[in-house]
A = this chain, B = another copy of it.
Amino acid sequence: MTVAKEMFVYEFSEGSSASKELLGGKGAGLAEMSSLGLPVPPGFTITTEACRAYMGSGELPDAVVEQIEEYLAKLEASSGKKLGDPGDPLLVSVRSGAAVSMPGMMDTVLNLGLREEAVESFARRTGDARFAYDSYRRFIQMFGDVVLRVEHEKFEAALEALKRERGVADDTQLTAEDLKGLISTYKQTVADESGVAFPEDPREQLRLAIRAVFDSWNNPRAASYRREFGLPDDLGTAVTVQAMVFGNMGDTSATGVVFTRDPSTGEQGLFGEFLLNAQGEDVVAGIRTPRPISEMQEVLPRAFGELLETMHRLENEYRDMQDIEFTVERDKLYMLQTRSGKRTAVAGLKIAREMADEGIISREEAVMRIEPRQLNQVLHPYIDPGAELEVLAEGLPASPGAATGKVVFTASEAEERGGAGESVILVRKETTPDDVHGMVCAKGTLTALGGMTSHAAVVARGLGIPAVTGCKALEIDAAAQEFSIDGRTFGADDSITIEGSTGRVVEGEAPLVDPEMSEDFEQVLAWADEFRTLGVRANADTPQDAERARHLGAEGIGLCRTEHMFMEDGRLEIVREMILSDSEAATSAALARLAPLQRGDFEGIFKEMDGLPVTVRLLDPPLHEFLPDSIELRERLAGLEDGDSEEALEIRRQLRVVESLEEANPMLGLRGCRLGIVRPGLYRMQARAIAEAAKAVRARGCAPVVEIMVPLVGFRTELAEIRGEIEAMVQEVLEPEVQIRIGTMIELPRACTVADKIAWEADFFSFGTNDLTQTTCGLSRDDAEGAFLAHYLEQGFLTKNPFESIDVDGVGQLVSMACERGREANPHLKLGICGEHGGDPESIRFFHETGLDYVSCSPYRVPVARLAAAQTALEERGSRIEA
* Residue positions of A touching B, CB distance < 8 A: 663-670, 674, 677-678, 712, 714-715, 717-718, 721, 747-750, 753-754, 757, 771, 774-780, 782-784, 787-788, 791-792, 795-798, 807, 809-811, 813-814
Complex: A776 Cα to B771 Cα, angstroms? 11
User: 7 A-B contacts, Cβ less than 8 Å apart?
Assistant: A667-B778, A669-B780, A721-B797, A749-B749, A749-B777, A749-B778, A757-B809
Identify A718's interface contact among B747, B797, B814, CB under 8 A. B797
A810 near B665 with CB under 8 A, answer no
Known contacts A664-B782, A665-B666, A667-B664: does B750 contact A776 (CB below 8 Å)?
yes
B776 near A748 with CB under 8 A, answer yes
Complex: A571 Cα to B811 Cα, angstroms? 40
With a cutoff of 8 Å between Cβ atoms, the chain B residues found around residue A664 in the complex are 666-667, 780, 782-783
With a cutoff of 8 Å between Cβ atoms, the chain B residues found around residue A750 in the complex are 776-778, 807, 809-811
CB distance from A723 to the nearest CB of B (A): 13
Known contacts A749-B749, A778-B775: does B810 contact A754 (CB below 8 Å)?
yes
With a cutoff of 8 Å between Cβ atoms, the chain B residues found around residue A667 in the complex are 664-665, 667-668, 778, 780
Complex: A782 Cα to B669 Cα, angstroms? 9
Known contacts A750-B776, A750-B807, A778-B712: does B678 contact A791 (CB below 8 Å)?
yes
CB distance from A639 to the nearest CB of B (A): 15
CB distance from A660 to the nearest CB of B (A): 9
B665 near A668 with CB under 8 A, answer yes
With a cutoff of 8 Å between Cβ atoms, the chain B residues found around residue A778 in the complex are 667-668, 712, 714, 747-750, 771, 775
A777 near B669 with CB under 8 A, answer no
Q: How many protomers of this protein does the assembly include?
A: 2
A774 near B668 with CB under 8 A, answer yes
A669 near B754 with CB under 8 A, answer no
With a cutoff of 8 Å between Cβ atoms, the chain B residues found around residue A666 in the complex are 664-665, 783
Complex: A754 Cα to B812 Cα, angstroms? 11
A782 near B717 with CB under 8 A, answer no
With a cutoff of 8 Å between Cβ atoms, the chain B residues found around residue A814 in the complex are 749, 753
CB distance from A496 to the nearest CB of B (A): 27
With a cutoff of 8 Å between Cβ atoms, the chain B residues found around residue A774 in the complex are 668
B753 near A788 with CB under 8 A, answer no
Complex: A678 Cα to B797 Cα, angstroms? 11
From A796, which residue of chain B is reached at the shortest CB distance? B717
CB distance from A242 to the nearest CB of B (A): 41
With a cutoff of 8 Å between Cβ atoms, the chain B residues found around residue A783 in the complex are 663-666, 668-670
From A668, which residue of chain B is reached at the shortest CB distance? B780
Complex: A311 Cα to B779 Cα, angstroms? 64
Complex: A253 Cα to B747 Cα, angstroms? 69
A791 near B677 with CB under 8 A, answer yes
Known contacts A678-B791, A777-B714: does B809 contact A754 (CB below 8 Å)?
yes
Nearest 10 CB-CB pairs, A to B?
A750-B810, A668-B780, A665-B780, A749-B749, A669-B783, A748-B778, A663-B783, A753-B813, A665-B667, A665-B665
CB distance from A88 to the nearest CB of B (A): 56
With a cutoff of 8 Å between Cβ atoms, the chain B residues found around residue A721 in the complex are 797
CB distance from A479 to the nearest CB of B (A): 15
CB distance from A344 to the nearest CB of B (A): 37
CB distance from A831 to the nearest CB of B (A): 19
From A756, which residue of chain B is reached at the shortest CB distance? B809
Complex: A747 Cα to B747 Cα, angstroms? 18
CB distance from A449 to the nearest CB of B (A): 11
B798 near A715 with CB under 8 A, answer yes
B782 near A677 with CB under 8 A, answer no
From A747, which residue of chain B is reached at the shortest CB distance? B778
With a cutoff of 8 Å between Cβ atoms, the chain B residues found around residue A780 in the complex are 663-665, 667-669
From A661, which residue of chain B is reached at the shortest CB distance? B787
With a cutoff of 8 Å between Cβ atoms, the chain B residues found around residue A670 in the complex are 783-784, 787-788
With a cutoff of 8 Å between Cβ atoms, the chain B residues found around residue A749 in the complex are 749, 775-778, 810, 814
- New contact pairs (8) apart from A664-B666, A677-B792, A749-B777, CB-CB < 8 Å: A663-B780, A665-B668, A669-B783, A714-B778, A717-B796, A721-B797, A749-B775, A749-B814
From A771, which residue of chain B is reached at the shortest CB distance? B778
From A718, which residue of chain B is reached at the shortest CB distance? B797
Complex: A92 Cα to B775 Cα, angstroms? 61
CB distance from A742 to the nearest CB of B (A): 18
Question: Which among A714, A784, A792, A814 has the greatest number of chain B C-beta atoms within 10 A?
Answer: A714
With a cutoff of 8 Å between Cβ atoms, the chain B residues found around residue A798 in the complex are 715, 717
A669 near B718 with CB under 8 A, answer no
Known contacts A717-B797, A811-B750: does B665 contact A788 (CB below 8 Å)?
no
Complex: A636 Cα to B505 Cα, angstroms? 42
Complex: A666 Cα to B668 Cα, angstroms? 11
CB distance from A801 to the nearest CB of B (A): 13
CB distance from A103 to the nearest CB of B (A): 30
With a cutoff of 8 Å between Cβ atoms, the chain B residues found around residue A754 in the complex are 809-810
CB distance from A453 to the nearest CB of B (A): 14
A677 near B797 with CB under 8 A, answer yes
With a cutoff of 8 Å between Cβ atoms, the chain B residues found around residue A747 in the complex are 778
CB distance from A785 to the nearest CB of B (A): 11
Known contacts A667-B668, A749-B749, A810-B714: does B788 contact A677 (CB below 8 Å)?
yes
Complex: A247 Cα to B617 Cα, angstroms? 68
With a cutoff of 8 Å between Cβ atoms, the chain B residues found around residue A792 in the complex are 677, 715
A779 near B668 with CB under 8 A, answer yes
Complex: A753 Cα to B668 Cα, angstroms? 21
CB distance from A46 to the nearest CB of B (A): 33
With a cutoff of 8 Å between Cβ atoms, the chain B residues found around residue A807 in the complex are 750
Complex: A774 Cα to B750 Cα, angstroms? 10
Complex: A771 Cα to B775 Cα, angstroms? 11
CB distance from A323 to the nearest CB of B (A): 38
Question: Which among A669, A747, A811 has the greatest number of chain B C-beta atoms within 10 A?
Answer: A669
CB distance from A835 to the nearest CB of B (A): 15
With a cutoff of 8 Å between Cβ atoms, the chain B residues found around residue A787 in the complex are 663, 669-670, 678
From A670, which residue of chain B is reached at the shortest CB distance? B787
B677 near A784 with CB under 8 A, answer no
Complex: A783 Cα to B750 Cα, angstroms? 18
Question: Which among A674, A795, A811 has the greatest number of chain B C-beta atoms within 10 A?
Answer: A674
From A750, which residue of chain B is reached at the shortest CB distance? B810
Complex: A677 Cα to B792 Cα, angstroms? 9
With a cutoff of 8 Å between Cβ atoms, the chain B residues found around residue A796 in the complex are 717
Complex: A797 Cα to B782 Cα, angstroms? 31
Complex: A814 Cα to B810 Cα, angstroms? 12
CB distance from A296 to the nearest CB of B (A): 53
With a cutoff of 8 Å between Cβ atoms, the chain B residues found around residue A775 in the complex are 668, 749, 775-776, 778
Complex: A792 Cα to B814 Cα, angstroms? 25
Known contacts A666-B665, A677-B788: does B797 contact A777 (CB below 8 Å)?
no
With a cutoff of 8 Å between Cβ atoms, the chain B residues found around residue A777 in the complex are 714, 748-750
With a cutoff of 8 Å between Cβ atoms, the chain B residues found around residue A678 in the complex are 787-788, 791
CB distance from A233 to the nearest CB of B (A): 14
With a cutoff of 8 Å between Cβ atoms, the chain B residues found around residue A810 in the complex are 714, 749-750, 753-754
